[in-house]
Amino acid sequence: MSNLFFIDNKKHPPRPSRSSPGSLPVLSIEGTKGSGLVLRCESEGWYPEPELEWFDNNGAILPAAGPTETETDTEGFYTVRRNVTIQQTDNNWFTCRVQQQNITRTKHIRIPDDIFPKPCQSYWTVGLCLAVGAAVGAAVAAPMGHVVGYRRAKRHWATGETEDPEIL
């Protein structure tokens, strides 16, 4: 016999008989996005379903990089996870808070400065940096070539020297 029950002709796992505070959040770095980092917060074993929020060091709520993902295990307990894209700050402290009713679990993380992507570290920014570098190089080289050519012509005009065109 299955331990599922039906509501509106849909199978549902049994509901736990009492609330469960769930685990401490687990924080991880999922990758980079532009000049920022994608952080993930995950906590499991909650009942009823908790709320999950990310905060910066000043306590301001950070916008999520999508909706909170929610799963229910076979016993009716919830696992929640949410990603947020963060930018480098003066101290790089961030907090994940998972709460339900009067139970709150928080976890703090400090990201070292050298973990954040540097300019020209992602593929599209590398291309952009190369293009800008080439443009700056051309802008510097063109006047220099003009000056060198002008000096050469002036020297030739003044001295009457000629050079082998193959060497130029």
Residues 131-160, mean pLDDT to the nearest whole number: 66
Q: Which one has a higher pLDDT value, 164 or 156?
A: 156
Residue with the larger pLDDT of the pair 117 and 146 = 117
Q: Region 7-11: what's the mean pLDDT? A: 58
Would you state the pLDDT for residue 1?
A: 41
pLDDT for 167: 46
Q: Which two tokens stand for residue 40?
A: 């993930």
Question: If 0-12 CB within 10 Å is exposed, 13-18 middle and 19+ buried, where does residue 82 land?
Answer: buried
pTM: 0.64
Closest CA to 111 of 51, 37, 52: 37
pLDDT tens, 31-69? Answer: 999 999 999 999 999 999 999 999 999 999 999 989 999
Per-residue pLDDT at 168: 44
The pLDDT score that the predictor gives to residue 150 is 63
pLDDT at 2: 45
Question: According to the model, what pLDDT value does residue 162 have?
Answer: 55
Of 159 and 114, more confident: 114
pLDDT for the residue numbered 16: 74
For 82-138, the pLDDT digits (tens) are 999 999 999 999 999 999 988 999 999 999 999 999 877 556 656 666 777 777 766
Contact 78, 15 (CB under 8 A): no
Tokens 């961030």 belong to 94
Bridge partners (DSSP) listed for residue 98 = 52, 105
Mean pLDDT across the stretch 136-159? 64
